[in-house]
Amino acid sequence: MSGHVVAVAVTDATPVFELAVPCEVFGVDRSDIADPWYELRLCAAEPGPLRTTAGMRLSTDHGLDALPEADTVVVAACSRAVQLDPPRPLLEAVRAAHARGRRIVSICSGVYVLAAAGLLDGRRATTHWMNAGDFARRFPSVRLDPDALYTDDGDILTSAGTGAAIDVCLHLVRHDHGAAAAAEVARRMVVPPHREGGQPQYARLLVQPGHDDGLAPVLGWARDHLDEPVTVADLARVACLSERTLTRRFRDALGITPLQWLLQQRVRLAQELLETTDEPVEAVARRTGFGTAANLRHHFGRIAGVSPQAYRHVFRHRAAAAAAERAAGGLSA
């Protein structure tokens, strides 16, 4: 009996990991979990030869005509050139597949193709947090959710970058074959079947302005006093500005209010402490100016999308691993 056909549209210079994930989830025979399993078809969306960003040549036995015939169409992550100018035949094939009621899925920057094809107008979607600003400017009619790991709008699903490709693919398995099947696939891949939170726990919290509008001194002062009960009035006093003028300059330079910036900086510092120290949450709350553990949990959860404890569990070894890698590099040099 034929399985559910998943057609993956592949363009040149596609990122390796984002392409490998649907191949791993749908292309490996797992009929012992659910029978029939999926049938994977890699479809060339451009004239060949196609290669990944790592230079590996791709063997694609199918073309774009396979997309409307599939049950699920996956648009893999794509290079910047494809984001800016998707191949017209690919856009037409994606539209045709959608018109025939096929399930459409984008991985990371593949969402640019769906948006350019007009499939996301007025619909919720996501992409990698680093692409969020650019995507929102290019496609203002899309209801972008930059915090989501993936979105499911029924017949169209989108995902954030890299690891979120696993999240959305496991979500599809969960939808098609049930939670137990998705959990077993996750177990074999040695990944969690479902991740808590969203992209904010991974994104850089510090907003990078095009110019600081003369705010650099007060920003530096505030970072040095995050353990104190700094208020907007304190920032205005240090900046020798009225609170109203300070707020306007923050909005012009950073796109957020002084209070929002302060909370982001406190959460950023809390992230560093959770990663690099064993201090209890109560101590982290005091050192970051939140005062109480309850206050820290409230703002940390709202901004980062997970609790401080969950964040520490996932990321506490990141800084140590990076330090070990740097040390190894120094030794080898």
Q: How confident is the model at residue 315 (pLDDT cuts 50, 70, 90)?
A: low
Burial of 320 (0-12, 13-18, 19+ CB in 10 A): exposed
- The answer to whether residue 1 scores a pLDDT higher than 70 is no
pLDDT number for residue 211: 45
CATH fold for the domain made of 4-201: Rossmann fold (3.40.50)
- The answer to whether residue 90 scores a pLDDT higher than 70 is yes
- The answer to whether residue 330 scores a pLDDT higher than 60 is no
99-115 pLDDT, tens per residue?
999 999 999 999 999 99
pLDDT number for residue 210: 42
The CATH code of domain 216-319 reads 1.10.10.60
230-254 pLDDT, tens per residue?
999 999 999 999 999 999 988 877 7
Domain assignments of the chain as residue spans, ordered by start: 4-201, 216-319
188-208 pLDDT, tens per residue?
998 877 665 555 545 444 444
Give the Cα separation of 158 and 257 in Å (integer).
30
- The answer to whether residue 183 scores a pLDDT higher than 70 is yes
